[in-house]
Amino acid sequence: MFMDPTGRTNASEAGFHLARNGAGTLLVRLAGSWTIAEGIPSTAEIAREIESDPRIRRVIFDTENLQSWDSSLLTFLVKLLELCRGADVEAVRDGLPAGARRLITLATAVPEEKGARRAAGTETFLSRIGAGTIGILSGGTETLSFIGESFLAFLRLLRGKARFRRCDLTLLIQDCGAQALPIVSLISVLVGLILAFVGAIQLRLFGAQIYVADLVGIGMAREMGAMMTAIIMAGRTGAAFAAQLGTMQVNEEIDALRTLGISPIDFLVLPRMIALVLMLPLLCLYANLMGILGGAMVGVGMLDLSVVQYFNETRDAIRLTDFMAGLFKSGVFGILIALSGCLRGMQCGRSSSAVGLAATSAVVTGIVAIVVADAVLTVIYDLLGI
């Protein structure tokens, strides 16, 4: 925030006046109380003055009316001194407060490290595209190698050679399973309710209310149960995985595992993957039932169907294959959520903000992967006639 230094008469406000002290000397009278809360006056006026009058060879200061000062004065002065150096004008610091003089000496004592300063936000469009592309490519190879390593770890698990603590697995299973029940219940009842409601309005036009049961049953079993639990778990558990592994990365805990010759993939990723792959289909099954319950609420409450009618219609509508199709999907989603959470955690940088980013990007990656996989699986099911 820049303030116009001129026209400032109130003595307590920061400002300065310019005056000539002989032909070659510019006198800067600093006045008022310079506090950072008030902003920093601009040096533009002085720059104009120096530029417009080439006779000026010296800048001197007068601080008689200066009441108090903090970093705002220092910032102003450092900028002014820089300006004077650029214009080859001598700045006489004698008139400045002694404390400010010493701090300026300190600030200019160590010359700026060459090459250390990075251009702030002035990348060209092309270089950003280039950097983005390189980022995507290297991110792609990293992702592939992570998936490969996880697969190898899975093979080791099958041969009974993977090493992780069984009690970690138990805790993770509890966290991915039982503790997710309340939220899964709530969401899937509501989803069933919504499905039934939307369907009911249309079907009632044809007097075909009873088919709401088919709609909800098949919709939940084949699609919505798996999808909704997966999205809930991506937000809940995928993010948690990324944050846990990211924090371990920041704390050098993962380094400590590596140097002990314990594979972090075996030790950390594998139990998380197993827990999710085991628990997600169970949650999905549970969500299916809750969704059908939600549908029944609408059917019984709004469409005057009896509970028995609704139950029989549902039972006739859903084949076992429909359930299996949904459960298989949710197993795949479980792998994807665990992979994306753990991948982002392992890629995490070494700062606390990186942990936040890892969690966010785990959720985004997870949801994108879920939706893409769902589309692919739906097409495959269709081709196979499932």
Partner 1 sequence: MSGLDREVHIEVQDLTMAYGSFVIQRDLNFKVRRGDVFIIMGGSGCGKSTLLRHMVGLKEPARGKVYYEGVDFWSVEVKEREAMMRRFGILYQSGALWSSMTLAENIALPLEEYTDLSPSEVREVVSLKLSLVGLAGFEEFYPSEISGGMRKRAGLARAMALDPDILFFDEPSAGLDPISARRLDDLILELRESLGSTIVVVTHELASIFAIGTNSVFLDSETKTMIAGGDPRELLETSHDPKVRSFLTRDAPEERSD
Should residue 258 be labelled a site residue for partner 1 when binding is judged by CB under 8 A? yes
Give me the least distance between CB of 339 and partner 1, in Å please: 21
* Stretch 120-139: interaction string toward partner 1, x if CB under 8 A: --------------------
Should residue 251 be labelled a site residue for partner 1 when binding is judged by CB under 8 A? yes
Should residue 319 be labelled a site residue for partner 1 when binding is judged by CB under 8 A? no
23, 261, 320, 385: which one binds partner 1 (CB under 8 A): 261
Distance of CA 370 to CAs 223, 283, 345, Å? Answer: 12, 16, 18
How far apart, in whole angstroms, are the C-alpha atoms of residue 361 and residue 358? 5
How far apart, in whole angstroms, are the C-alpha atoms of residue 216 and residue 225? 10
Identity of residue 46:
I
How far apart, in whole angstroms, are the C-alpha atoms of residue 358 and residue 347? 8
Should residue 142 be labelled a site residue for partner 1 when binding is judged by CB under 8 A? no
* Stretch 161-200: interaction string toward partner 1, x if CB under 8 A: --x----x--------------------------------
State the Cα torsion 332-333-339-342 to the nearest 10°.
Answer: -150
How far apart, in whole angstroms, are the C-alpha atoms of residue 260 and residue 225? 42
1, 110, 136, 308: which one binds partner 1 (CB under 8 A): 110
**Of the two residues 109 and 308, which places its CB atom closer to partner 1 in the complex?**
109
Identity of residue 154:
F
In the chain, the largest separation of any two C-alpha atoms, in whole Å, equals 105
Should residue 248 be labelled a site residue for partner 1 when binding is judged by CB under 8 A? yes
**Of the two residues 271 and 366, which places its CB atom closer to partner 1 in the complex?**
271
**Of the two residues 13 and 253, which places its CB atom closer to partner 1 in the complex?**
253
152, 253, 289, 311: which one binds partner 1 (CB under 8 A): 253
Rg over CA atoms, the chain: 34
**Of the two residues 54 and 139, which places its CB atom closer to partner 1 in the complex?**
139
Any residues with CB less than 8 A from the CB of 255 and at least 6 apart, and which?
A: none
User: Comparing C-alpha atoms, which of 329, 123, 79 is closest to residue 221?
Assistant: 329
Identity of residue 204:
R
Chain-centroid distance of CA 221 in Å reads 32
Number of residues forming the site for partner 1 (CB under 8 A): 17
109, 308, 320, 383: which one binds partner 1 (CB under 8 A): 109
Name the site residues for partner 1 (rule: CB under 8 A): 109-110, 163, 168, 247-248, 251-253, 255-262
